[in-house]
């Protein structure tokens, strides 16, 4: 995304700081320092800068843009951070981690490899787990997904002849596939059997 | 489009579950949605006892559908098992009911042979239900499917609350038995191990109306329920309404119930339900508001795409695209609004937008066409809606000098209004009564029809009973300006002038951004134009006539002339 260009500038007006130079309206690569982290560079920000003393005046829209760029670059967890957190929490494998977090296997792998970023809220959540290992242990002990998953062998009977028995479903491969591969504990949908 | 599946469940009976479901369905239909109901309370079916759903009574339904599958091992075509229900024609949506089944001898036999556990153990339960869902979605294209579930911890209750829905509305009474049972069921649903477990929405009902000294008990029961269920019940309860518990009916469609707490509570439940549905038109409407408020062009583009692919033929969706087009300029807003109007002329927003647009470019004949095509819908229009459109059309025709047609419209409005007010209230609302009578009389006068003196006198007496004082200055100015005609027509020129002076006085406090309805032009004008026209009306009275040249009857002091 390009930095937004403010409609008004101070270009040509005298600098109030040194009283000698004049403001120019230019684009700069702004470097924002962040505590305990690498600084974030925000490219192409529009500012007014004095050609004599270098005094810089940020238009409101540029300040907003810098804030949101920094937030975008710092809040989602990076692959390296995720790897570090996983190791700190004592989880050896990526698929184990996704199991505990309640994610699909591929999702977590994509995050850690950097192919995709977790959402902001998911990042908050994982940061919190990293901060409070006992919460993570509690979650791990539940192993919600694992407990309710059926073994592959139990899923097979419905496949045979399904196309003939369920014509509407058969005409919609997407939905058919979802049913065949969904990991529902079928006993769980009948209260009387619980 | 994506159908949203909701189950209404209660652990115990008698909490008004079927009543709530039927009335929420009616509200959805009223808002223009397509709705299918499934009566899954197979042992104690209730939906077909509603007079409004009589088309589905004694027809085949769920039990026969399952039986046919178990007999043939092929899921049957859904259509013969689902029946369209005729609600009042002016409701914009549609409703179908899949009843529990024919209540004949075979029914009980078939019911006793339904084995859910076998079905699920054979691995056929999930594809059977998915096939069923898909059949309904493709055949009827509903926005909402509401399932009336069986009570208690039963197999079929489990199917209703876990296998079908995206949302379960859990209705429960506040006693301990109800609350505990509801909590147990909620736990079962959450722990059923579903990939996408349904959302749960808890509703306490019926809440008794207790005398103040007993309120403490009610509050403590509320708090206990909130604690057991782990939810906030502050905005989700339905109050007890004695007459509602005695009959099965769609009271939300009954104007007499309109302002009652009962209807309010059901509306709120309906709102909550539509908020849960993140793919529905209601949510997309909210998102559109957001995009427009925040000037969010990215969101606008995503929404337009979603609306186009998801709801290509729905007036609401096409009009939302028109609104979004005004933001991002990707399409022609006017063209989309016209398209939306054609899809359903009864959906008011495109009509209002188009009227404003045509008015701006002075294409009044196009507005007349719009109104005519709405009125052509005849019985598919509610009487209120018909009167609103007639009013728009009549004002427009007055403003362009088509007095004869306008007089006919105003006569019809007056007729409808007197019929309605005759039904429930002797007096009606004095203001609207006066306005209707005045418009009918004034349009007749301009159409050169004879207006009996009695009618003008009646208008004056209504005006004097309900003087336009203390209201908004724009309304006071309009009413005083208009009523001068009535005084003039009974020969009371001094009162007529007095009225016009009052109008001029009222207009002093109007700011220059407001507009006032001018009786001379029959349209809204700005303050200065209003002042100028009122001066003109005054000057005409000094000449002994109205501004349009009609002579005043001979004045006979304060007494009206004898005709």
pLDDT at B159 over 80: yes
Q: CB of B124 within 8 Å of any CB in chain A? A: yes
pLDDT at B428: 53
pLDDT at A90 over 60: yes
Per residue in B59-91, pLDDT (tens digit) is 999 999 999 998 888 999 999 999 999 998 889
Query: Distance between CA B439 and CA A178 in Å, rounded?
Result: 64
What letter does residue A14 receive in the DSSP assignment?
Answer: B
* Residue that finishes a domain, picked among B345, B365, B385: B365
B225 and B326 assigned to the same domain: no
pLDDT at B562 over 50: no
Enumerate the β-bridge partners of residue B144. Answer: B4, B35
Q: Is residue B385 part of a domain?
A: no
Q: Is residue B41 part of a domain?
A: yes
pLDDT at B339: 96
What mean pLDDT do residues B263-269 have?
Answer: 92
Chain B residues within 8 A of A167 when measuring between CB atoms: 74-75, 131
B229 and B310 assigned to the same domain: no
Half-sphere exposure of B451 (CA within 13 A, CB side): 26
- B389 or A14: which leads in pLDDT: B389
B107 and B233 assigned to the same domain: yes
Percent of chain B having pLDDT more than 70?
96
Q: What is the CATH number of the domain that holds B332?
A: 1.25.40.10
Q: How far is CA B313 from the centre of its chain?
A: 20
Q: Is residue B190 part of a domain?
A: yes
Minimum CA–CA partner of A150 in chain B: B193
Nearest chain B CA: its distance from A105 CA (Å): 14
Minimum CA–CA partner of A103 in chain B: B195
Smallest Cβ–Cβ distance between B74 and the set A164, A187, A192 belongs to: A164
* Residue that finishes a domain, picked among B244, B276, B308: B276
pLDDT at B10 over 90: yes
B224 and B318 assigned to the same domain: no
pLDDT at A154: 45
pLDDT at B469 over 70: no
Query: Distance between CA B495 and CA B500 in Å, rounded?
Result: 9
B237 and B120 assigned to the same domain: yes
B191 and B313 assigned to the same domain: no
B237 and B333 assigned to the same domain: no
pLDDT at A185: 55
Chain B residues within 8 A of A166 when measuring between CB atoms: 75, 127-128, 130-131
Interface of A with B (CB under 8 A): 147-149, 155-158, 162, 164-169, 172, 175-176, 178-180, 182-194
* Residue that finishes a domain, picked among B350, B365, B380: B365
B57 and B187 assigned to the same domain: yes
Per residue in B496-545, pLDDT (tens digit) is 999 999 999 999 888 888 899 999 999 999 999 999 999 999 999 999 89
B159 and B190 assigned to the same domain: yes
For residue B539, give its domain range: 452-563
Q: How far is CA B304 from the centre of its chain?
A: 25
Residue A119 confidence class, pLDDT cut points 50, 70, 90? confident
B153 and B292 assigned to the same domain: no
pLDDT at B423 over 70: no
pLDDT at B343 over 70: yes
Q: Is residue B172 part of a domain?
A: yes
Smallest Cβ–Cβ distance between A162 and the set B127, B153, B193 belongs to: B127
Q: Is residue B376 part of a domain?
A: no
- Give the number of domains in chain B: 3
Query: Distance between CA B96 and CA B83 in Å, rounded?
Result: 5
Structural domains of chain A sorted by starting position, each given as residue range(s) with its CATH number in brackets: 23-74 (3.10.20.860), 79-147 (1.10.260), 150-193 (no CATH)
Q: Is residue B218 part of a domain?
A: yes
Percent of chain A having pLDDT more than 90?
11
ipTM over 0.90: no
Q: What is the CATH number of the domain that holds B110?
A: 3.40.50.300
Chain A residues within 8 A of B130 when measuring between CB atoms: 166, 169, 175-176, 178-179
| Three-state DSSP state, B209 | coil
B260 and B354 assigned to the same domain: no
Query: Distance between CA A30 and CA A47 in Å, rounded?
Result: 10
Q: Is residue B53 part of a domain?
A: yes
Candidates B7, B6, B15; CA nearest to B181 is B15
pLDDT at B255 over 90: no
pLDDT at B96 over 80: yes
B271 and B302 assigned to the same domain: no
Write down the mean pLDDT value for chain B. Answer: 88
What mean pLDDT do residues B447-465 have?
Answer: 90
Q: How far is CA B385 from the centre of its chain?
A: 11
| DSSP symbols for A39-93 | -EEEEEEEEEEETTT--EE--HHHHHHHHHHHHHHHSSPPHHHHHHHHHHTT---
Q: Is residue B390 part of a domain?
A: no
pLDDT at A159: 55
């Amino acid at each position: 995304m390009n930095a937004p260009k403010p409609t008004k500038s101070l270009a040509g007006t005298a600098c109030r700081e040194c009283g000698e130079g004049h403001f120019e309206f230019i684009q700069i690569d702004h470097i924002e320092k962040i505590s305990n982290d690498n600084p974030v560079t925000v490219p192409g920000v529009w500012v007014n800068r004095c050609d004599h003393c270098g005094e810089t005046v940020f238009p409101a829209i540029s300040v907003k843009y810098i804030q949101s760029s920094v937030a975008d670059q710092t809040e989602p967890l990076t692959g390296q951070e995720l790897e570090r957190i996983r190791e700190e929490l004592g989880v050896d494998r990526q698929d184990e981690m996704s199991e505990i977090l309640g994610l699909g296997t591929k999702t977590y792998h994509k995050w850690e490899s950097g192919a995709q970023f977790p959402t902001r809220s998911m990042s908050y959540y994982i940061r919190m787990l990293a901060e409070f290992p006992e919460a993570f242990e509690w979650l791990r002990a539940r192993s919600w997904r694992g407990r309710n998953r059926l073994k592959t062998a139990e899923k097979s009977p419905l496949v045979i002849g399904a196309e003939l028995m369920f014509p509407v479903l058969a005409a919609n491969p997407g939905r058919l596939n979802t049913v065949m591969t969904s990991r529902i504990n079928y006993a769980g949908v009948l209260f009387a059997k619980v | 489009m994506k159908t949203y599946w909701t189950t209404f469940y209660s652990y115990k009976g008698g909490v008004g579950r079927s009543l709530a479901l039927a009335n929420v369905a009616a509200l959805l239909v009223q808002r223009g949605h397509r709705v299918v109901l499934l009566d899954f309370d197979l042992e104690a079916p209730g939906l077909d006892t509603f007079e409004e759903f009589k088309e589905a009574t004694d027809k085949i339904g769920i039990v026969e559908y399952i039986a046919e599958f178990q007999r043939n091992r092929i899921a049957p075509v859904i259509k013969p098992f689902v029946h369209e229900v005729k609600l009042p024609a002016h409701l914009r949506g549609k409703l179908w009911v899949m009843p529990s089944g024919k209540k004949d001898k075979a029914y009980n036999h078939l019911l006793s042979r339904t084995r859910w556990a076998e079905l699920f153990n054979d691995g056929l339960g999930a594809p059977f239900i998915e096939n069923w869902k898909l059949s309904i979605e493709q055949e009827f294209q509903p926005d909402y499917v509401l399932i009336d579930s069986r009570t208690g911890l039963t197999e079929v209750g489990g199917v209703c609350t876990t296998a079908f829905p995206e949302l379960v509305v859990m209705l429960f009474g506040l006693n301990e038995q109800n609350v505990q049972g509801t909590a147990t069921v909620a736990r079962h649903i959450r722990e059923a191990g579903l990939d996408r477990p349904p959302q749960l929405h808890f509703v306490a009902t019926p809440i008794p109306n207790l005398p103040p000294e007993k309120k403490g008990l009610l509050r403590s029961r509320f708090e206990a329920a909130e604690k057991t269920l782990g939810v906030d019940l502050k905005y989700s309860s339905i109050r007890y309404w004695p007459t509602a518990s005695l009959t099965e009916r769609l009271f939300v469609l009954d104007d007499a119930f309109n302002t009652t707490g009962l209807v309010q509570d059901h509306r709120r439940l309906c709102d909550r339900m539509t908020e849960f549905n993140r793919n529905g038109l209601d949510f997309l409407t909210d998102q559109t508001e957001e995009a427009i408020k925040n000037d969010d062009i990215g969101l606008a583009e995503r929404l337009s795409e979603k609306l186009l692919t998801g709801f290509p033929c729905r007036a609401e969706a096409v009009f939302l695209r028109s609104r979004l087009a005004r933001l991002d300029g990707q399409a022609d807003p006017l063209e989309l609004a016209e398209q939306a109007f054609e899809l359903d002329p009864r959906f008011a927003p495109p009509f209002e937008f188009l009227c404003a647009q045509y008015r701006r470019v002075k294409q009044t004949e196009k507005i007349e066409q719009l109104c005519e095509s709405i009125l052509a819908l005849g019985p598919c229009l509610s009487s209120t809606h018909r009167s609103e459109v007639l009013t728009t059309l009549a004002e427009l025709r007055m403003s362009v000098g088509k007095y004869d047609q306008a007089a006919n419209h105003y006569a019809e409005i007056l007729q409808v209004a007197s019929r309605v007010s005759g039904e429930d209230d002797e007096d009606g609302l004095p203001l609207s009564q006066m306005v209707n009578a005045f418009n009918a009389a004034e349009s007749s006068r301009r159409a050169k029809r004879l207006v009996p003196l009695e009618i003008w006198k009646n208008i004056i007496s209504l005006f004097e009973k309900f003087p336009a004082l203390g209201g908004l200055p724009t309304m006071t100015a309009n009413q005083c300006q208009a009523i001068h005609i009535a005084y003039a027509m009974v020969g009371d020129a001094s009162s007529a002038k007095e009225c016009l002076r009052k109008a001029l006085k009222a207009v002093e406090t109007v700011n220059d951004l407001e507009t006032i309805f001018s009786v001379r032009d029959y349209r809204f004008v700005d303050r200065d134009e209003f002042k100028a026209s009122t001066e003109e009306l005054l000057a005409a009275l000094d000449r002994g006539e109205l501004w349009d040249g009609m002579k005043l009857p001979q004045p006979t002091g304060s007494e009206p002339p004898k005709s």
